[in-house]
């Protein structure tokens, strides 16, 4: 996660408007979601991949790579379940001795579409996360009148997550060196103690931070003096153009006769 | 168990978001009131959110051979209540979606509803019931953590079943989703219950001040000497 933060801060797209990038991301995600043709998620994936590649040169933190592989596994299992529960024309039957699994044509089509939507969605979200430091996004949310309490809470949760993760990592290594994770029973016992220690340390840290803030004259509000780039009209136009273009391509693929008919004299 | 990006059709993504918004807004007003009355709580609430996020990085072995992680919503419900937990869950779910590719932006409303509202609410009902019945720490914490986790999973299975019914039957689809994910989720809910019994037991002995008025602590829960503060 730390490296993800570093990647976001070193991205060439870092100085683009965070809300602009969010609008573009949302338009790509929604276009992929409402499409009934598999072509749209594929286009969204390619756009997301190109932006992600340019932003990171494919420098992916190991923890994110593992998270992506984990996500891919969940996509496959969930898509299989969708293929299984959707009724329609029988396509395959897989005999597993105890039970026979029936896959319909409609089920397989829907599962494939959902799978590609998910993969495209993750790629677009990765581009956004790898080019937008979260504190910058949180501060940008003030421009759309998100309450300052939520913005501050988001930034604080983000900052303290890094500190707690660092402490957890140190405690984890210490417990591991003492064979604290040997066997299931020890694993659960050590995990619960790690959780308690992280929690009590977080409480201590909160008390110490409060004292430090009070000593510096804290009046209950965190001021931010470096506002991120504002959302301009060109971002709204770009996002709308992307959305309508993808919508038109989808209609052209799914109902070509209907779309072409609209242009007949 | 989160619903991943792209898995919910637009109408269901909007529907669950509409259901989640009022509770999160209620949570926001509670947090605003809390911060206005005692600004020093800002740090505590923020660190509780960071704790939930960090907790989700603690991997636990699961029956299928893979590993899973606790959600921490049961513990947060005991410590902060449903409304504040829903706001903290919203922030944590955004971080998980963007930083760990776990969950999604268009499925955020559905995930907030299952993990941040329904789970904590059921856990809170169990917690209040157990507190009224004056039951001890072990059954109260286990029931709260188990039910918060398990009901979040039931709601997630229902959300998927509503989005993908089998030949128009939501029930058939629900049983399929419920059955397949039960292999990992039921043991995980039990494990989370056991983990938080150990968590609150240890917390009651080391920092009983943090649990004042929260659980029916017996004298032996909070006064027993701590053998060693490990790692």
pLDDT in tens, A25-62: 999 999 999 998 999 999 999 999 999 888 887 777 77
Q: Which residues of chain B neighbour A67 with C-beta distances below 8 Å?
A: 100-102
- What is chain A's mean pLDDT, rounded? 84
B229 in any annotated domain: no
Among the partner-chain residues A171, A195, A210, the one whose CB lies closest to the CB of B43 is A210
Number of domains in chain A: 2
Res. A176: pLDDT tops 80:
yes
B206 against A248, higher pLDDT? A248
Same domain (yes/no): A242, A116: yes
Instruction: Select, from the ranges A60-64, A112-116, A138-142, A152-156, the one with the highest average predicted confidence (pLDDT).
Output: A112-116
Check if A141 contacts B (Cβ < 8 Å). Answer: no
Rounded Cα gap, residues B211 and B209, in angstroms: 5
Q: Could you tell me the residue range of the domain that residue A26 belongs to? A: 1-132+232-265
B131 in any annotated domain: yes
| Tokens 């004298």 found at | B219
Phi-psi region of A132 (alpha: psi -120 to 50; beta: other; left: phi over 0): beta
pLDDT of residue B60: 55
CB A91 within 8 Å of CB A104: yes
Average pLDDT over residues A164-177: 87
pLDDT in tens, B54-74: 877 665 554 444 445 677 888
B66 in any annotated domain: yes
Same domain (yes/no): A118, A246: yes
CB A69 within 8 Å of CB A119: no
CB A159 within 8 Å of CB B42: no
Strand partners, B169: B166
Instruction: Select, from the ranges A87-91, A151-155, B141-145, the one with the highest average predicted confidence (pLDDT).
Output: B141-145
Beta-carbon separation of A125 and B99 below 8 A: no
Flag whether the ipTM exceeds 0.90.
Answer: no
How many beta-carbon contacts under 8 Å exist across A and B? 225
| d(CA B171, nearest CA chain A) in Å | 11
| Tokens 């998100």 found at | A146
Same domain (yes/no): A101, A23: yes
A139 in any annotated domain: no
Check if A256 contacts B (Cβ < 8 Å). Answer: no
Res. A8: pLDDT tops 80:
yes
Check if A24 contacts B (Cβ < 8 Å). Answer: no
Res. B14: pLDDT tops 90:
yes
A138 in any annotated domain: no
Same domain (yes/no): A214, A242: no
A137 in any annotated domain: no
B2 in any annotated domain: no
Beta-carbon separation of B99 and A4 below 8 A: yes
């Amino acid at each position: 996660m730390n490296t993800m933060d570093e990647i976001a801060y070193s991205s060439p797209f870092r100085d683009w408007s965070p809300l602009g990038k969010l609008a573009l991301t949302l338009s790509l995600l929604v276009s992929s979601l409402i499409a009934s043709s598999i072509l749209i998620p594929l286009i969204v994936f390619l756009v997301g991949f190109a932006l992600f590649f340019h932003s990171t040169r494919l420098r992916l933190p190991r923890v994110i790579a593992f998270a992506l592989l984990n996500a891919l596994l969940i996509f496959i299992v969930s898509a299989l379940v969708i293929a299984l529960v959707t009724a329609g024309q029988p396509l395959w039957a897989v005999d597993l001795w105890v039970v026979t699994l029936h896959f319909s044509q409609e089920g397989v089509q829907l599962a494939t579409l959902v799978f590609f939507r998910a993969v495209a969605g993750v790629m677009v979200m990765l581009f956004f996360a790898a080019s937008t430091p979260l504190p910058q996004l949180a501060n940008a949310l003030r421009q759309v009148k998100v309450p300052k309490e939520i913005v501050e809470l988001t930034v604080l949760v983000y900052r303290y997550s890094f500190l707690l993760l660092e402490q957890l990592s140190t405690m984890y290594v210490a417990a591991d060196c003492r064979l604290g994770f040997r066997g299931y029973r020890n694993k659960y016992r050590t995990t619960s103690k790690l959780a308690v220690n992280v929690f009590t340390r977080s409480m201590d840290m909160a008390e110490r931070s409060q004292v430090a803030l009070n000593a510096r004259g804290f009046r209950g509000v965190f001021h931010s003096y470096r506002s991120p780039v504002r959302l301009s009209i060109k971002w709204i136009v770009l996002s709308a153009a992307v959305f309508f273009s993808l919508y038109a391509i989808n209609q052209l693929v799914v109902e070509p006769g209907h779309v072409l008919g609209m242009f007949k004299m | 168990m989160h619903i991943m990006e792209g898995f919910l059709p637009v109408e269901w993504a909007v529907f669950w978001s509409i259901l989640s918004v009022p509770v999160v807004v209620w949570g926001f007003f509670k947090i605003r009131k809390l911060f206005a009355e005692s600004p020093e709580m800002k740090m505590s609430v923020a660190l509780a959110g960071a704790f939930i996020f960090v907790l989700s990085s603690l991997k636990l072995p699961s029956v299928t051979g893979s590993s899973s992680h606790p959600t921490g919503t049961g513990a947060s419900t005991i410590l902060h209540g449903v409304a504040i937990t829903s706001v903290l869950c919203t922030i944590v779910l955004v971080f998980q979606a963007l930083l760990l590719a776990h969950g999604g932006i268009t499925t955020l409303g559905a995930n907030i509803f299952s993990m941040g509202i329904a789970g904590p609410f059921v856990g809170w009902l169990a917690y209040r019931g157990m507190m009224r019945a004056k039951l001890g720490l072990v059954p109260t914490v286990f029931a709260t953590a188990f039910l918060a986790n398990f009901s979040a999973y039931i709601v997630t299975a229902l959300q998927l079943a509503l989005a993908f019914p089998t030949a128009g039957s939501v029930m058939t689809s629900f049983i399929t989703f419920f059955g397949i994910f039960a292999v990992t989720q039921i043991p995980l809910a039990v494990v989370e219950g056991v983990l938080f019994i150990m968590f609150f037991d240890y917390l009651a002995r080391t920092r009983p001040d943090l649990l004042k008025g929260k659980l029916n602590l017996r004298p032996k829960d909070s006064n027993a000497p701590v053998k060693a503060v490990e790692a």
